[in-house]
Amino acid sequence: MQEILDAIQAGASGNDLANLPLPESYRAAFVKRDEVDMWDGVASEDKDPSKSLHIDQVPVPELAPDEAYVAVMASAINFNTVWTSIFEPLPTFGFLDRLGRESVWGARHALPYHIVGSDASGVVVRVGSAVRNWKAGDRVTIHCNHVDDQDPTAHDDSMLAANQRIWGFETNFGGLADLALVKANQLMPKPTHLTWEEAACNALCNSTSYRMIVSRHAAGMKQGDGVLVWGATGGIGAYAVQYVLNGGGTPVGVVSSPERAELLRAMGCEHVIDRKEKGYRFWKDEHTQDEAEWRRLGKDVRALLGRDPEIVFEHPGRSTMGASVFVAARGGTIVTCAATSGYMIEYDNRHLWMKLKRIVSSHFANYREAWEANRLIGEGKIQPVLSRVYPLEETGVAALSVHRNEAEGKVGVLCLAPEEGLGIDDAEKRDRVGEDKITLFRRMAGGAQAGGPQPAAV
Ligand code: NAP
């Protein structure tokens, strides 16, 4: 890949890149099929992704006609890589095997190793014979919605497609590598004012939050809505707060430390709740919730917002869902995309039906939604929330920091990019958008990296 990187850095034309030979193998982060039992008997919180994620050479897979190879300059950690690396709630090899049974091209994915990663920025180096809109040399970001466009169920909202998958989680050949194999309909233009690592960290979380907050497929927030955002400086939460502010709503952000509260205020979120300081105990014990504690949260939200929130942005799951359903306004919406703390959730249904609330599910985003979310990043209206950057060799350490809830915003990973700060094509636009806004998380939260695991080479 060095020759390809040298060519990219020297500004080689698309034709030149297309004519460079591809290597037989490339560096990638992967888990191994024969290690899926390695955590037997170990508690979730004690599982260390740096022990199960390996960095090594893997063979370059064959290219299907509707696909592209992308030389990956940077990638990012998502929570799904944590799930894959701790083999919870189940090993991801089952997904690969199912894809493998679908078609000849699908069979390439069912391997003894799973290359992870659902975000990337980079440069297209080859396209398949059926690709029309992209060519070698294009600078791109990659969204993770992997759909078969010959499936009729994919042609309304592609998130409803029967064979919809998340690239790098339910497919192989993900973005935490020097080369990625993607469907051409996963490609989007790289925002020209961002570095490789800033451009790589957005697509998954930004698109997810766009769909949850903005899209008619989920909460469909309107101007003036109050939105309670759990994990408001986390991966999806930090984009959610921006969408609420951008769309004329009022966020109430929940975080778990004074530093995160300060970061949230610096983002422009006036109403902040530090859940650690408040010491909410929504569960009295493993089986019993405490409605008095839900009421206490509701009172705290009302004291800030002046009323109950029209929308609750929910993802912690078991620990908070009962409270989320309770605090949403009459007729309000609880929009959920995850269950980090446990997926067997419990809430008091009386509070849902008597007050005509609705729970809306959401999952990633269709191509259109991902494209619009990427466009907003490109226009400088939504900012990347990159706080830490690790080299690919330290993917496991990077994933551990997300697993332990030690990192704010997004954790970036440098793949081919030899250092941070490269890849900006439009410095003037960057100035217009504002360096301080673009790097807010790197400056205010990235400092935490100094006290945590140190990257070796950045
Ligand atoms: P993240 O960067 O780790 O942020 C999660 C935030 O949630 C943390 O910053 C933390 O904030 C808060 N949190 C964690 N545990 C909590 C608890 N028990 N109670 C209240 N708050 C808690 O993760 P992320 O990238 O935002 O992802 C969050 C979840 O969404 C993950 O489960 C992920 O798999 C899922 N997800 C789903 C989709 C989809 O398409 N369905 C897409 C992206 C992510 P504080 O500690 O500061 O409160």
CATH number of the domain enclosing 354: 3.40.50.720
* Residue 256 near ligand 1, beta carbon < 6 Å: yes
Compute the distance between CA of residue 173 and CA of residue 27 in angstroms, rounded to an integer.
Answer: 11
DSSP 57-68: EEEPPPPPTTEE
Distance 314 CA to ligand 1 centre (A): 9
Residue 258 lies in domain: 219-361
Band the pLDDT of 446: cuts 50, 70, 90: low
Average the pLDDT over 103-108 and give the result.
96
Band the pLDDT of 150: cuts 50, 70, 90: confident
Atom 19 (ligand 1) nearest CA: 316
Single out the residue in 326, 361, 396 at which a domain terminates.
Answer: 361
Number of domains in the chain: 2
pLDDT exceeds cutoff 60 at 457: no
State the pLDDT at residue 149: 86
Average the pLDDT over 250-276 and give the result.
97
Single out the residue in 361, 385, 411 at which a domain terminates.
Answer: 361
Q: List the structure tokens of 432.
A: 């217009």
31/168 same-domain check = yes
Ligand 1: atom nearest CA of 362 is 41
Query: Angle CA(73)–CA(64)–CA(23) in degrees, nearest 5?
Result: 45
* Residue 385 near ligand 1, beta carbon < 6 Å: no
332/348 same-domain check = yes
**Kind of pairing, strands 139-142 and 187-189?**
antiparallel
In a domain, 211, yes or no: no
State the pLDDT at residue 445: 87
Contact present, 3 and 50 (Cβ < 8 Å): no
Average the pLDDT over 173-182 and give the result.
98
348/401 same-domain check = no
In a domain, 323, yes or no: yes
283/348 same-domain check = yes
227-248: b or e for each residue (b if 16 or more CB lie within 10 Å)?
Answer: bbbbbbbbbbbbbbbbbbbeee
- Average pLDDT value over all residues in the chain: 95
CATH number of the domain enclosing 443: 3.90.180.10
pLDDT in tens, 336-391: 999 999 999 999 999 999 999 999 999 999 999 999 999 999 999 999 999 999 99
Single out the residue in 361, 393, 409 at which a domain terminates.
Answer: 361
Compute the distance between CA of residue 193 and CA of residue 433 in angstroms, rounded to an integer.
Answer: 9
* Residue 235 near ligand 1, beta carbon < 6 Å: yes
State the pLDDT at residue 338: 95
Average the pLDDT over 174-196 and give the result.
98
In a domain, 214, yes or no: no
State the pLDDT at residue 450: 40
Q: Which helix (H) or strand (E) holds 316?
A: none
379/285 same-domain check = no
In a domain, 458, yes or no: no
Distance 312 CA to ligand 1 centre (A): 14
330/310 same-domain check = yes
State the pLDDT at residue 447: 55
In a domain, 245, yes or no: yes
pTM for this structure?
A: 0.96
